[in-house]
Amino acid sequence: MRILLQFPEGLKQYALRYAKELERSGNEVFISASPTFGACDLALDEARSLKADKLVHFGHAEFHHVDFNVEYVEYKMDASLALLPRSLDLLSGFDTIGLCTTIQHVHQLGDIKSFYESRGKTVVIGKPYGFAKKPGQILGCDVGSAASIDRQVDAHVYFGGGVFHPLGALLSTTKPFIAIDPFNGMMERMDQMREQYARRSRGKVLSAMGAKSFGILVTTKNGQHNMRLAELLKARIERDGMSSAILVANTFDFESLSNMREFDAFVNTACPRIAIDDCDRLPKPLLSANELMSLLSMKTELEALERARSQAAKQ
């Protein structure tokens, strides 16, 4: 069998090991050297170009169905739970807590839940919807397991490494949010970041108020492609008398986008985290679809106000 292997950055160090194991079983094996941002970013073009019989994607659960033979190999990690007793200080006064994590630690949620319940907490784990597949699992673009239980809990607890995943959940919830990172031995309450990102969003919208031309980003990645949304946004922009064009790429190079100087602002329809995490990488405003709609609504209101003032001045 001809097989293409695909690994996220943290697992690429094991690529040769898995390739040789499969070769010993009589397979012809190739390794994708491209970066991948998750199961939304499968190496389908490479696999089809190689005429591979199967793509083996490591580290993530299935995102959505694709028309190709894909095997998903989830990568489970047993992280230390030693920080849990210390987290009780941060959770003081919160009787009901919600738990969330990444696919690597979903299998540990039962033990974490048992610990908190043994300390008198009521624990809620949200059911998945959208792209996430398991209770308590969150993705960078799908935090429904946390958002769906926001009204039921007094606080949220994220268990896992880094800030990428808990930031997404934080911005989609309203309750106190505690992140426990067992890898660096750190815990923090992240609530203050909500207002920080809300101010950033408002700032982007205001900075784009004078924009007359918009570049709308569309990716060809399997789980991020949203041409229909891009077409709707283009029509909406042009209905208001402004100019726009749809920009297509697999992975966007921000230096190349910066060279497109005719655009006053950009609108993202690819991974929703681009407009959150990468907006500082462009000299022009990079808006989400919702931020664009807020901008257009503000423009409409201001134009109506100006017309009213003009008419009043003539009377």
Residues 216 and 292 in one domain: yes
Ordered mean pLDDT values, 10 residues apiece, the chain (315 residues): 94 95 96 93 96 96 92 93 96 97 95 98 92 91 94 98 93 97 95 94 95 97 96 96 97 95 97 92 96 93 76 70
In angstroms, the CA 139 to CA 51 distance is 30
Tokens of 309: 């003032």
CATH of the domain at 103: 3.40.50.11850
For residue 10, the model assigns a pLDDT of 85
In angstroms, the CA 9 to CA 1 distance is 25
CATH of the domain at 267: 3.40.50.11860
For residue 303, the model assigns a pLDDT of 75
Q: 241 lies in which domain range?
A: 205-301
For residue 311, the model assigns a pLDDT of 75
For residue 315, the model assigns a pLDDT of 66
For residue 304, the model assigns a pLDDT of 74
Residues 53 and 91 in one domain: no
In a domain, residue 307? The reply is: no
Beta pairing class for 177-181 and 186-189: antiparallel
CATH of the domain at 26: 3.40.50.11840
Other Cβ atoms less than 10 A from the Cβ of 43: the count is 26
Residues 214 and 292 in one domain: yes
Q: Tens digit of pLDDT for each residue in 188-225?
A: 999 999 999 999 999 999 999 999 999 999 999 999 99
For residue 102, the model assigns a pLDDT of 94
Cβ within 8 Å of residue 148, ≥6 positions away: 126, 127, 129
Other Cβ atoms less than 10 A from the Cβ of 227: the count is 14
In a domain, residue 68? The reply is: yes
Q: Tens digit of pLDDT for each residue in 5-37?
A: 999 988 999 999 999 999 999 999 999 999 998
Number of domains in the chain: 3
Give how far Cα 240 sits from Cα of 44, 210, 228, 236, 295, Å. Answer: 38, 13, 19, 7, 11
Give the pTM. 0.88
